[in-house]
Amino acid sequence: MKYYPRRGFGVFDEMFDDFLPKTNVFSSNVMKTDIYEKDGYYNLDIELPGYDKEDVEMDIMDGYLNIKATHNVSNEEKDSKGNLVRSERSFGSCSRSFYVGDNIKAEDIKAKFENGMLNIVLPSKEQKSIETKQTVTIE
C-alpha cells in the first residue's frame, strides 16, 4: 500500500482529489517580511500569496504602520437542475504592525502590490510628530 503522509487517505486519495484542496494559501496568518535600509529609506517586502491588492489595507497611527489582509472565497457548483452539488468556503486574514516612529506621515510612505508581494518604502529619517490615523494608498 502506498503511504500518503500529507492527507493519509491511502487508496482513497484519487477519489477525493477533486474535493479536497491541495494547499490552502490562506492557512498561514503570518506575513513573511524582509526589511532592509537603502539610501536613507527602509524597504519592507511582505509576502501575501493568494491575496489581491483590494484585500490589503494599510494605515499609520501612533507611530505604527498597520497592515491587514483579508480574503473570502466561496465556490458553489450546481447540477443541471440547480441542486447544490458542492460548496466550498475559505477565509484568510493576517495582520502585522511595525513601529516606524511618531514622525512618519502617510504621504511619506510608498506602497506597491504586485504578484502577491507588498513592497513598502518609507524614510528612515525622523520628521515632525503626527498623532492622527492616516490611511496609506497602495499602488
What is the per-residue pLDDT across 26-52, written as a single tens digit (0 to 9) for each?
445 578 999 999 888 999 999 998 889
For the segment 83-108, what is each residue's pLDDT rounded down to a tens digit? 878 778 778 889 999 998 888 889 99
Q: Are strands 134-135 and 56-61 parallel, antiparallel or unpaired?
A: antiparallel
In a domain, 38, yes or no: yes
In a domain, 49, yes or no: yes
Cα 109 from Cα 78, distance rounded (Å): 46
In a domain, 5, yes or no: no
In a domain, 21, yes or no: no
pTM (global) more than 0.75: no
In a domain, 15, yes or no: no
For the segment 15-32, what is each residue's pLDDT rounded down to a tens digit? 444 444 444 444 455 789
pLDDT at 3 over 70: no
**CA dist 57 → 38, 75, 135 (Å):** 25, 24, 8
In a domain, 62, yes or no: yes
pLDDT at 120 over 70: yes
In a domain, 35, yes or no: yes
Cα 131 from Cα 61, distance rounded (Å): 7
CATH number of 56's domain: 2.60.40.790
In a domain, 119, yes or no: yes
Other residues' Cβ atoms within 10 Å of the Cβ of residue 28: 13
Other residues' Cβ atoms within 10 Å of the Cβ of residue 136: 21
How many domains is the chain partitioned into structurally? 1
Residue 79: predicted pLDDT:
84
Q: What is the residue range of 124's domain?
A: 28-135
